[in-house]
Amino acid sequence: MVSGLAQPPVLVVDGLDEARGESFSIATSLLTKLADHAVVIVSTRQVHRVVGRAPLLTELSPMEVLDLDDGGSEADVRDYVVARLGTTVPQSTVDELAGLPFLTAWMITDQLLSDGGADLKLSLDAAFDRELAKVPAARPLLTALTWSYGAGFPEEEWRAVAEALSGERFSRDDITAVLTELGRHIVQDGEEGTAVFKLTHQTFADHLRPQFSPSRDTVFAPGAEKVACALIGLYRQRLEAGVPPDVPGYLWKYAWRHCGHASAEALDALRALATMNRMLLPDIALAATTAANELAHWGRGDEAIEPLEEAASHFRALVPTLRMYLADLAFVLNRLGLRYREAGRLQHAVAPAEEAVVRYRELVARTPTTAETLTHKRLAQRIAKTTTQPGENQTYVAHLSGALVDLSGLYAMLGRRHEALSTARDAVAAVDTDAPLARAMMCLATRCNETGRRYEAMHRSKQAVELYYALAQTNPLYLADLVTALVELSRDFLSLGRLSDTDRTTQQAAEINGTLGRHAAFEPQLADAALALSVAYSMVGRTEEALNSARKAAELAEGLRIHGQALHNLMRRQRDAEKPREAMVTGLRTIEVCLLPGHEHRLSTLAAALFTLDTVCARLGQPEIVEEAWDRVVERFTGPHLATLLMLRAAATTAGDPAVAKWLCQALTHVGQSRQARHDVHDIARRHHDFYRASGRPWPWDSTPDWLTVDRGLLRTARRWVFARSYVEERAVLLAHPELLSADADVAVTEALYGTSLIEAQVIQSRRTTAQAQGVELAYRPWLLASLADEFVDATPARRRELLAVRRGELLDKEVLRTVRDNRPVHALLLLADSDTDVLDLVLDALENPPRATEVLRGLASGASPQALTQAVVALEPHPLAALYKVVARVRAGDERLALPVAERRLGWIHELTYLVPANLKLLTLIRKLAEES
């Protein structure tokens, strides 16, 4: 719509700071994106998300700033004062008021007019306190209003929150007294047909309740729990009184938000309330998502996993009937995958990351969805087979591309390079402009590099640079991404031996990094850019510049998530600059930072720092420092994290070192339920065991477990079977290697399955068990049919024709029909394929050419059987006249149970029926009923 306008629209957003904790997310996720398509004018006060960090103005990255405090407003205030007080007021009073900020002058002028006793020397806060003193209940009641969302609290909610926060009781008379005496500070509005109340200005809200600065230790604002629990208590009273939960009002709209921005106790209260009425299940999911986002943002990602899992479960159950939650489900699944990945639980991350892609594809393609939880292999096949088509819903293509980028990164971390590359290509194909394409292009460049496609990697990096350069022309927020893209391009040039291009590109990155430094306090972006630049300098041998950039990155990164990474980079640059003692000190500092709360899951950085420290201390002849550092690490960690670190230490140690066996033994006692940790420890142990066996030395454990001596060839075959990319390939491996079905292969299969999640391992093992009992073909038949069903669901109408032509028998199998039964349009198509192929052809024509759908339905209304007409209507949903044609089918079948539309839609039905009456006079009765009801 905007692209068709001669001039871009102008959007005015007033009081952004009044959104408090949400103002930053509104700025970055909405307003900066709108600025690409419109002139966005924002009024806001300067606020900080965290003390000392980038302010709100920096997040907005405006092209121009007008500071109202800088302008000479004294003349305007003077005119205002004279207009309010008249010309008889003493000139000295006018002069004093004219020198005040407008809001203060307004309040003191009001006080002069009301009682003549105002103090002209008062600050705004003091003047406001003087107002509050007029009514005893004013302070607690007005403080309660600072917690409201939307247009404000209704009276009952207002009193409930005030009582919970203050411990006092308030009556309607107290409310009346406050409104009478302090009404000019309160906005009375209407929302959902109810009077609501809110403070007039955020300055007064901040005076009553100073802005809260969250941190890792204190994520949720003090008092938020009391507010949420008070509102849930009021909600419970209404439910117990028989009031439906979805009656329009404050609680139905905002109770879940209060719970999401409060503690776990508030969320528990909402869960308990939902047991009274299942209509509140979406509220639990939304609140859990909000709480998880807050926890993750402030470095408590582990605690975010459980509420995200809960939210995903609820949204998945809701989407078949309430499609509006499909976007929420996709978002939550994507976040859950990221949280698992950050926690080092890579196997757990795969399923939600893959499902997120499938859900976003459903949003883009507007296909119906089900509540089914798909196994990894089915998800992976749907991801590989589905592509976006022209004319599909473009709203979510950027989200789809982002989810594919995240999934590609996850595949790469798991060593699944082929899938990582193809997924990155899909991410690029999904979008065609702007930042999502630039990010996808960077991802593809990295995947090409990892798979040895160096020339293509360079070409993709160039494209990313061009995209980020264009974006940075209008939004300096992208300058840091441009620096990172240039550094990646430098890497690509270096790998191709183009040293002059490498040096030139690195210099460009340095110049732009200097430009970034002139744009306010973009500390996270500056730190990222400086870190990337340091790496680039090191690649071209400019040791001093690399060291300086590393120092800058480490300084900027303090307190950020990349602090440990920046310190480790500085340590390496100091080592390269022949400053081993400085490198040792920095290395010890790196380890300290990696052991801090919020950094403990960055095991790769910690392990890398320990390994670098080992080389530095070896040069200094002080190996005992490394041992002491490892001792501190071992004391700090337990469970799978410690097992992973010990495994990494063993992996980096020369084979045959006697200490390795001790570390691996210790690691095995800490793997716990982590299949990934067990898989990795077993693999490294086998590598060292092979060296001992080849050298004729005995393995230094008291006993030798069967997994240590498992046949290596059989293990490789078992892994080929487990990690086959499709059911067809999996079946082929099993047919070619029947030895995998024998009991002798149990250990090899179990070891291979440690590389998958527990759920996926159980599913794969169940196929093996069935194959052992019934044969491979029968064991895989339901899985291949389910895969065929998925392909049919995701296919275009043209591809569906092809599938029905060549695989009709399989598609009409009861197993396929069972798989798609929740997808009503697809299920209806298959029923038509079984009962009326002529109607099926017409429906497929309409799906290929949507403008023809109404014409097709009109023809079917007279020519098809009532049952075929009903199935055709369902297959074409969501057609705007679907409900009408279902009623037509009922009339033709002689069924008098007719679902008539709401009054405003009846005239449209009557109009459509005029096309159908000549072929079916029974429909005149339906027209008469519609006219009578109207």
Q: pLDDT at residue 881 above 90?
A: no
Which CATH number is 151's domain given?
Answer: 3.30.420.610
Same-domain check for residues 876 and 926: yes
**Least confident span in 85-94, 229-238, 368-377, 870-879:** 368-377
What is the mean predicted confidence (pLDDT) over 181-191? 84
Q: Which two tokens stand for residue 164?
A: 């919970």
Total number of domains constituting the chain? 5
What is the mean predicted confidence (pLDDT) over 830-855? 88
Q: Which two tokens stand for residue 389?
A: 């088509």
Nearest to 413 by CA among 353, 489, 482: 353
Angle, alpha carbons 853-858-859 (nearest 5°): 100
In terms of pLDDT, which residue wins out, 121 or 656?
656
Same-domain check for residues 155 and 127: no
Q: Which pLDDT does position 70 carry in this prediction? A: 62
Identity of the residue numbered 361: R
**Proportion of the chain above pLDDT 70, given as a percent:** 90
What is the mean predicted confidence (pLDDT) over 514-519? 61
377 located within any domain:
no
46 located within any domain:
yes
Identity of the residue numbered 402: G
Q: What is the distance of C-alpha 429 from the center of its chain?
A: 21
Q: pLDDT at residue 291 above 70?
A: yes
Identity of the residue numbered 737: H
Same-domain check for residues 128 and 144: no
Sorted by sequence, the CB contacts under 8 Å of residue 52 that are 6+ apart come out as none
Q: Which pLDDT does position 791 carry in this prediction? A: 84
Q: Which pLDDT does position 68 carry in this prediction? A: 67
871 located within any domain:
yes
Q: Which pLDDT does position 392 carry in this prediction? A: 62
Same-domain check for residues 85 and 138: no
238 located within any domain:
no
Instruction: State the pLDDT confidence band at 283, using cuts at 50, 70 and 90.
Output: very high
Same-domain check for residues 98 and 147: no
What pTM was computed for the model? 0.74
Q: Which pLDDT does position 52 carry in this prediction? A: 43
Same-domain check for residues 124 and 147: no
Transcribe 174-203 into DSSP letters.
Answer: HHHHHHHHHGGGEEEEEETTEEEEEES-HH
Same-domain check for residues 79 and 36: no
Q: Tens digit of pLDDT for each residue in 333-381?
A: 999 999 988 887 888 888 899 999 988 988 887 665 554 555 555 555 5
Residue ending a domain, among 211, 245, 266, is 211
Average pLDDT, the chain: 84
Q: Which pLDDT does position 711 carry in this prediction? A: 94
Q: Which two tokens stand for residue 830?
A: 């298959």
Q: Tens digit of pLDDT for each residue in 659-707?
A: 898 999 999 999 888 888 899 899 999 999 999 999 989 988 888 899 9
Q: How far is CA 124 from CA 34, 104, 110, 705, in A?
A: 35, 5, 13, 76
Task: Work out whether strand 39-43 and strand 10-14 pair parallel, antiparallel, or are unpaired.
Answer: parallel
693 located within any domain:
yes
Same-domain check for residues 122 and 138: no
614 located within any domain:
no
Count of CA atoms in the C-beta half-sphere (13 A) of 175: 22
Residue ending a domain, among 179, 211, 243, is 211
Residue ending a domain, among 167, 189, 211, is 211
Give, as one character, the DSSP assignment of residue 579: -
Same-domain check for residues 129 and 145: no
Q: Which two tokens stand for residue 451?
A: 């798979």
Same-domain check for residues 870 and 917: yes
352 located within any domain:
no
Q: pLDDT at residue 767 above 70?
A: yes
Domain that holds residue 875: 855-933
Instruction: State the pLDDT confidence band at 931, using cuts at 50, 70 and 90.
Output: confident
What is the mean predicted confidence (pLDDT) over 77-94? 76
472 located within any domain:
no
**Least confident span in 16-30, 634-648, 728-742, 853-867:** 16-30
Q: pLDDT at residue 21 above 70?
A: no
What is the mean predicted confidence (pLDDT) over 246-259? 89
Same-domain check for residues 122 and 142: no
Q: Which two tokens stand for residue 595?
A: 């052991």
